[in-house]
Amino acid sequence: MHKPKKNIKFDFLKIIGIYILTKIMKINFKIITLLTSIVVNINVVFAQEDGGWGQLNERNSKEYWKKRHDEEKAHKKEVKEHWKRVGNETEIGSQQKVYKRMKNTKRVSNRINNKKNRHLFMRKNKRLDRDPLYKRILYKLRKNKKKDS
């Protein structure tokens, strides 16, 4: 009996198929490792942005929010004091400086109010134009400019 001839064509195709599969698997493996590294990095970034929020349990969160509200009250007081000081003409150094400062404050407050996640104490004056103190100071400055000219 003679040995049957091996199908060389079939073996060659088999080898090529296996080779292609290994290449695909290597590429897939690279893609998977890349994706996992991206996911891990994103998780690390979010953990940093979290700023420890995940560590707050019920008792801690109560203490935190209590402190936060106290800080906001203190901040509101400071802001009121500041605007009172700015409102007094005796404490205004040069009128021009105050005018510039008011303009900058308006710009900053507009930028803050455009943000979606605002802090409580930043919501108070949505538009500085409507703030009576702001109007009064601008009126005084315009009056003084007219006197000078």
The closest of 96, 83, 93 to 136, measured between CA atoms, is 83
Per-residue pLDDT reduced to its tens digit, 81-130: 877 776 655 444 555 566 666 666 666 666 655 554 445 444 454 555 55
- Does any domain span residue 28? yes
Q: State the total domains in the chain.
A: 2
**What is the predicted pLDDT for the residue at 140?**
76
- Does any domain span residue 22? yes
- Does any domain span residue 118? yes
The band of 51, judged by pLDDT with boundaries at 50, 70 and 90, is low
Q: Domain containing 41: what range?
A: 7-51
Please give the model's pTM, rounded to 2 decimal places: 0.27
Indicate whether 100 and 143 sit together in one domain: yes
**What is the predicted pLDDT for the residue at 56?**
65
Is the pLDDT assigned to residue 77 strictly greater than 70? yes
58-87 helix and 132-148 helix, angle to the nearest 10 degrees: 30
- Does any domain span residue 143? yes
Indicate whether 45 and 82 sit together in one domain: no
Per DSSP, the three-state class of 100 is: helix
Cβ atoms 137, 87 nearer than 8 A: yes
- Does any domain span residue 56? no
Indicate whether 88 and 123 sit together in one domain: yes
The closest of 140, 132, 131 to 96, measured between CA atoms, is 140
The band of 64, judged by pLDDT with boundaries at 50, 70 and 90, is confident
DSSP 116: S
**What is the predicted pLDDT for the residue at 133?**
65
